Structure 1
Amino acid sequence: MGEKEPREYDREYTTPLKHRARRRIGYTHNRGTVTRFVVQLEYHVDGGWLEVVRFDHDPKSDHAHDVTEDGVHMDVYRDGKKLRSEEVFPPMAASEALTFAEEHLNQHAERYINRFETWHEIKHR
């Protein structure tokens, strides 16, 4: 994986998308309340998965955002490194932010994949 491997989550799901891309979701909860999550679009390059974009919430981590205080951020990756972080929505409950991140990727994954392929000069076969 890229620069940092996330910790394990109570629930983790991976969904294949078009070409060599996938969506990975992980979340941990306590009594039905989401306490931390990652929603990440990944692309398979040279035998490994690279981050394309990532939404995360983990108040106890130095590497993640706290969506309840900082708002929902999307980290954008290029060449295996975080290029920038974009605020996409104001602060909200973690469970709402998890749903928002999933829906955002459902709607915009193709655009992010196309940008990633352009940046990395990946041609379709």
Structure 2
Amino acid sequence: MSEKTYTRDLGEGVRKRHYHRTEKGKVIDFVVQLEVILEGKWKPVIRYDCSHNFAHIDRYNIRGEKVKEDIYLTYEDSLTLADEDININWEYYKEKFLKGEYS
């Protein structure tokens, strides 16, 4: 079993947290989350993960409310999508979040 964890700063007060675990070369667990610092605390903006035994996206608003969206992909493809989406769209998601909208 292998695990990889890192946090990457994307801009001032914005970061991406990445975690995944593989077994025999297959992704068996993952979380990729965009966070912004708000009132001194890191808040989730958008999170891709596979808790509850299925891949999905949790989209948050500034009040901490969330909506869940299923991802109909393998864990491997969902992890790739999560990394690419957040790397490309983090500024857009941050802006929507700070306006009070779901990312």
Q: Larger relative contact order (C-alpha < 8 A, sep ≥ 6)? A: 2
Instruction: Report the 3-state secondary structure (helix = DSSP H, G, I; strand = E; otherwise coil) of the residue aligned with 2:99.
Output: helix
What's the Cα RMSD here? 2.1
- 1:44 corresponds, among 21, 37, 40, to 37
Runs of 4+ in 1 over 3 A off after TM superposition: none
What does 1:82-101 align with in structure 2 at a 5 Å threshold? 82-87=65-70, 89=71, 91-101=72-82
Unaligned runs of 5+ in 1: 1-8, 59-63, 68-72, 121-125
Q: How many residues align?
A: 100
Identical aligned residues as a percent: 30
Structure 2 CA distance for partners of 1:75 and 1:32, relative to 1, 3 Å: same
User: TM-score of the superposition, structure 1-length normalised?
Assistant: 0.70
Which amino acid counterpart does residue 23 of structure 1 have in structure 2?
K
Q: For 1:1-125, what aligned pairs fall within 5 Å after superposition?
A: 10-58=3-51, 64=52, 66-67=54-55, 73-79=56-62, 81-87=64-70, 89=71, 91-119=72-100
For residues 61 and 9 of structure 2, the distance between their equivalents in structure 1, rounded to whole angstroms, comes to: 20
How far apart, in 1, do the equivalents of 2:87 and 2:31 lie? 15
Counterpart CA distance in 2 for 1:30 and 1:37 is 12
Gaps of 5+ in 2: none
CA displacement, residues 12-61 of structure 1 (integer Å, 9 cap, x when unaligned): 11110122110111011112111010010001122221100000013xxx
Q: Which amino acid aligns with 2:12?
A: H
